[in-house]
Structure 1
Amino acid sequence: MARKNKSRGGHNPNRPRLWGKHAVAAALDNPERRVLKAWATRDAAGFMQFPPGLPLVIAEAPDLGRMVPADAPHQGVVIEVEPLEDLWLGDVLAEAPERAVLLVLDQVTDPHNVGAILRSAAAFGAIGIVTQDRHSPPESGALAKAASGALERMPWVRVVNLARALEEIAEAGFWRIGLAGEAKDDLKTALGPPRVALVLGAEGPGMRSNTREHCDALARLPIGGGMESLNVSNAAAVALYAASIA
């Protein structure tokens, strides 16, 4: 799937640094990812398949530790990359199979949560995730590490207007289900159509009212009385599993 150079790829002056074996290996395997430079311990350099011509600096583990956030598990390897180019929502929808699940995140901003959601989306066969450009985290080492390689494989569409995107998703034949703890129906009841868009809001405030209005149904996860709610990344994983077996 071709990525379009729109805003994230062409105008982001920051070059993310990714770390950890899975995140780095996935970036190296992604033909659409431009890797600029690598740093690695001698041991890590021995098993990481760095392409010929990539500038590589052999470094000690403490030196790598100073290149990443405190206590980040770099596992002996760090790379500097160009951000991936943007995807168009229309392209993702046009390539959707007859039976498909799409994730829509309404102002979920924590990079660890978004990374974990990318990982679950890849694990359960979602066709992509959609976020609002101004209210979602940029690519980063923390997000890529949480995604464990899924950042390079899962289509991630950033849009300006989420409500308009939800309208476009509906026009493509997707049944839009917003997850809300106070909903009357559980997710199993709301599922049914072969194309489903699962819409999740940020922890605490949940979905905004305009986002709710652009959902075809609201549904809740059948959580026991001992817990009021789940972390948004856990909720996404449960919802994706339910949709995958429906």
Structure 2
Amino acid sequence: MAGNSQRNNRSVSKKKGPQIGSGGKRRRGLEGKGPTPPASARKGHIKNRIANAKAKQAQRRPVARRGGKGSSEMVVGRNPVFEALRDGVPATTLYVQQFIDNDERVREALQLAAERGGIHLMEAPRPELDRMTGGLNHQGLVLQVPPYEYAHPDDLVTAALDDGEDPLIVALDGVTDPRNLGAVVRSVAAFGGHGVVVPERRAAGMTAGAWKTSAGTAARTPVARATNLTRALEAYQKAGLTVVGLAADGEAEVGDLAALGGPVVIVVGSEGRGLSRLVGETCDIRVRIPMPGGAESLNAGVAAGVVLYEAARLRR
């Protein structure tokens, strides 16, 4: 019968007449989705995870390298920027968001930047400031602080001897709070010291916070960075300096130590841990600060100030 042949290899059409259109319902599915985003923007991709990690790292305060320049630092927010400008923190550029609300803090920050001179004023859109600060709440103001120029530990001794004075240096061991570093710098300047030495690793650096706490004295008191603090102290010993470490169980009291009147390095440890083992063993003598009030310890800034006062008294 026609149309019902069972012969092999016979072609049978499956066409059932004209197809009905989708009426445009599938048009969206046929449209292109644009270029493929870069790997760093694709969620889950290894490059995306790396980019996110770098963005988080950018939010942390950078640390400069020993003996040279490090990364610049960003101070963000209206109050922090104003306070940094007011306190003399060195800066290169003040970024101001386009169409920012011109409130009192913004006007004061702009006025301070103009009065100080040497600070470039740059207007930038909000997305650019978001990118620069890693998404921090910058409130439309971002201040760029240049990398700090660290001295070499030997430079502090050389400068003192050039002035005909016995070196008076403070070394910090394990002090990680920039505000404590700034307070020590301020005390060194107040009592006629010749500088501060900090380790390159696991230690506070001269950030904007340290500059502010130093109350401007960081501009005239050098801070040196040592790759290895123990070796730096040994080099000072070879140069004729006495290394005096502060410790709660020190064998002498500060007021009984005549060595503070000569060339000396005062080593201050962290408030909790104190001096590290190697640094403590390197010290020529360890001294304690008598505290009849019963306090267990003093922070680095206060402890350094007490000993520096005694050293200045002996030198007078």
Cα distance per residue 1:203-228 (max 9 Å; x no partner): 11111121112111111112114212
Q: Determine the structure 2 residue equivalent to 1:62.
A: none
Asked if structure 1 preserves the Cα contact closer than 8 Å seen for 2:67 and 2:151, the reply is: no
Q: Secondary structure at the match of 1:236?
A: helix
Establish whether residue 37 from structure 1 lines up as the match of residue 96 from structure 2: no
Establish whether residue 82 from structure 1 lines up as the match of residue 138 from structure 2: no
Asked if structure 1 preserves the Cα contact closer than 8 Å seen for 2:194 and 2:222, the reply is: yes
Query: Are residues 78 and 124 of structure 1, via their aligned partners in 2, closer, same or farther at CA, if it must alter by over 3 Å?
Result: farther
Asked if structure 1 preserves the Cα contact closer than 8 Å seen for 2:182 and 2:210, the reply is: yes
Residues of 1 paired with 2:123 and 2:83: CA distance?
A: 16
Count of aligned residue pairs for this structure pair: 224
Q: Secondary structure at the match of 1:211?
A: helix
Cα distance per residue 1:12-41 (max 9 Å; x no partner): 3x311354557666445xxxxxx4202583
Query: Are residues 164 and 223 of structure 1, via their aligned partners in 2, closer, same or farther at CA, if it must alter by over 3 Å?
Result: same
Establish whether residue 241 from structure 1 lines up as the match of residue 306 from structure 2: no
Following superposition, the deviation at residue 58 of structure 1 comes to: 8.2
Q: TM-score, normalised by structure 2?
A: 0.62
Structural RMSD (CA)? 3.2
Establish whether residue 55 from structure 1 lines up as the match of residue 102 from structure 2: no
Query: Are residues 7 and 213 of structure 1, via their aligned partners in 2, closer, same or farther at CA, if it must alter by over 3 Å?
Result: closer
Establish whether residue 94 from structure 1 lines up as the match of residue 158 from structure 2: yes
Residues 18-27 or 233-242, more deviating: 18-27
Q: TM-score, normalised by structure 1?
A: 0.78
Asked if structure 1 preserves the Cα contact closer than 8 Å seen for 2:191 and 2:312, the reply is: yes
Following superposition, the deviation at residue 7 of structure 1 comes to: 4.4
Q: Determine the structure 2 residue equivalent to 1:212.
A: 280
Following superposition, the deviation at residue 150 of structure 1 comes to: 2.5
Identity of aligned residues (%): 32
Q: Secondary structure at the match of 2:280?
A: helix
Q: Determine the structure 2 residue equivalent to 1:120.
A: 187
Following superposition, the deviation at residue 185 of structure 1 comes to: 1.1
Q: Determine the structure 1 residue equivalent to 2:237.
A: 170
Following superposition, the deviation at residue 200 of structure 1 comes to: 0.8
Structure 2: 5+ residue stretches without partners? 1-63, 76-80, 97-105, 125-132
Residues of 1 paired with 2:74 and 2:190: CA distance?
A: 24
Following superposition, the deviation at residue 57 of structure 1 comes to: 5.0
If you compute each CA radius of gyration, which structure gives the higher value, 1 or 2?
2
Higher relative contact order (CA 8 A, sep 6+): 1
Query: Are residues 231 and 86 of structure 1, via their aligned partners in 2, closer, same or farther at CA, if it must alter by over 3 Å?
Result: closer
